[in-house]
Amino acid sequence: MTSMDSKPSVLMERYELGRLLGQGTFAKVYYGRNTHTGQGVAIKVIDKEKVLRVGLTNQIKREISIMRLVKHPNILELYEVMATKTKIYFALEYAKGGELFDKVSKGRLKEQIARKYFQQLINAVDFCHSRGVYHRDLKPENLLLDENDNLKVSDFGLSALAECKHQDGLLHTTCGTPAYVAPEVIHRKGYEGDKADIWSCGVILYVLLTGHLPFHDSNLMEMYRKIGKAQFKCPNWFPPEVKRLLTRMLDPIPAYRITIAKIKENAWFKKGTIARKPRNETENTGSETSDRASGSSDNKQEEIRPPNLNAFDIIALSPGFDLTALFEECRQKKEARFTSSKPASVIISKLEEVAKFLKMKICKREAGLLKLEGTKEGRKGILSIDAEIFELTHSFHMVEVKKSNGDTLEYQKVLNEGLRPGLQDIVWTWQPEEEPPPEQRVEPEQLGPLPPQQEQLP
């Protein structure tokens, strides 16, 4: 069997592989450089044979699905996934500062630095929870730092999605690292993922401020006993607000544990926060966005060049291979896609024309991205729709239309009654296809054979 050290020097003609950054049982992480852009990345190389042998395929799929769901400034970004017959490659954001664990292992941090990391951690965890994602393995080893000393939550291999809950609405898998795990998880009771993550954040805050664990014992059962009773001591020099906050976060009874909303109201937590311009975190913040940000701000249509989709993107976007569909079947779709043989400039003109007809304004136009906004306040704020154009081939484009703000039902109405009919003369095909109302729906046996271009993948 070939060693994982016999790595290709250039991966997929795009990433130049360099030094080894770290390794685990099933994967190694190398520093890489995108040969087209010069951007530094981390390349996680997973041994497919080992993963299949121990049955971790679903965990890898879950990690990909979740990292596609959670795009946030304090969460490590997954740029793309590639595969060969023997390996799976993740191209990830490179966190130059390494693990937060390395900093803490040298001793406690200054209060204002600990607070900054804690604020960023809470913001990232809050964002995950808003997407129905629970990390379940939060610890300093999984918190990385970028070159600007900003926190990046990583390692979503043990994460759970809201759809993974049992009928009682609780998670039941015992996982995580013992010293950071909530008592209800250790006791193998059903638990709420958000409450368990808040406990882990409390342990992390204690570690950042003291340089050691709140619950520690060489005897594992004794440590579990301390965790179960939340038996820990705060040093005398802790500010009173921190003591109160930790007591609430490390409450052994989940129902009494503080919520993230209340953590954000804590006086100590709020110190040093700077008011920022509001940013819609549901917007695509992927590598395409950063490419657009560095591009020209000139709005001339002939200069607009939409980003390309690679093979993984195209496969992942097709319904039969969409990994997130494994978890999102019961949700109302918040995005739709159509393909068109028209040039990008024609697609943009048509979108602008339809937006005008729908009394929506185009408030943002960059390379391949338009934002349509309603002029009236809806049930959940102003409806905002992103329309992003991707180049599949020189003469063929895909457009993704998705809600970025507002009410889903209002979005569905605009999509089905405004955008679909308004764009029909430039659309090759829609994905997913619009379902007919129940009275028009026919049973499969009433249909003749499908024409070749509509045949479904098995």
**Has 87 been labeled as part of a binding site?**
no
Which residues, listed in sequence order, are joined to residue 88 by a DSSP beta bridge? 46, 83
> Of the listed 137, 194, 197, 251, which one is catalytic?
137
Gap between the Cα atoms of 421 and 294, Å rounded:
35
Active-site residue, 5 included: no
Gap between the Cα atoms of 77 and 58, Å rounded:
20
Q: Is the dihedral of CA 39, 70, 372, 280 positive or negative?
A: negative
Q: Which residues carry out catalysis? A: 137
Binding site for ATP, by residue number, is 44
